[in-house]
Structure 1
Amino acid sequence: MNAIKKILGLVWIGIGVAAAYFLIIDQAIPKFESGKPEDMIPAIIYTFVLAPIIVGGLGIFGYYSLTGEYSDK
């Protein structure tokens, strides 16, 4: 069971990287490039609020899972 938890730690880190790519590349950059004022607020929220919270949370959860913090002792 502990081996599965460590493998899933890598999965969570991968999901965090995919979320960062989606939020910044697919969502924020096109809104920044549009130049419309109504697109700037969501782009700023995606980049500076949502991305760090989501990526940080998934990354820390995956790191703890890899290091064995959730192992059965």
Structure 2
Amino acid sequence: MDSVKKILGIVWLILAAVVAYYGLSVFGIPKIMSDKQEDNVFGWIILVILVPIIVGGLAVFGWYSFKGEYSDDKI
């Protein structure tokens, strides 16, 4: 079971990188460069609030899972 947790840790780290890429290149920066005010505000919310929270959570969880912090041998 610990090997599955380590593999899933790698998956979470890759998912964090993918979310960071799409959050910046698809949702954040193009919305900020828009002329509409509602797109501009939405882009800043995505870029400043949501992307760091989501990517940080996925990366920390993946890193701890990959390093074995969630193993059954830890007491």
**Shorter-chain TM-score category?**
over 0.9
- Alignment TM-score, normalising by the size of structure 2: 0.90
Q: Does 1:21 align with 2:21?
A: yes
- In structure 2, runs of 5+ residues without a counterpart are none
Give the helix-richer structure, 1 or 2: 1
Deviations 1:4-52 (A, max 9, x none): 1111100001111111111111111111121222211100110000000
Q: Does 1:56 align with 2:70?
A: no
Across the two proteins, how many residue pairs are aligned to each other? Answer: 73
Percent of residue pairs bearing the same amino acid type:
48
Instruction: Supply the RMSD in Å over aligned alpha carbons.
Output: 0.9
- Alignment TM-score, normalising by the size of structure 1: 0.93
Q: Which amino acid aligns with 1:60?
A: V
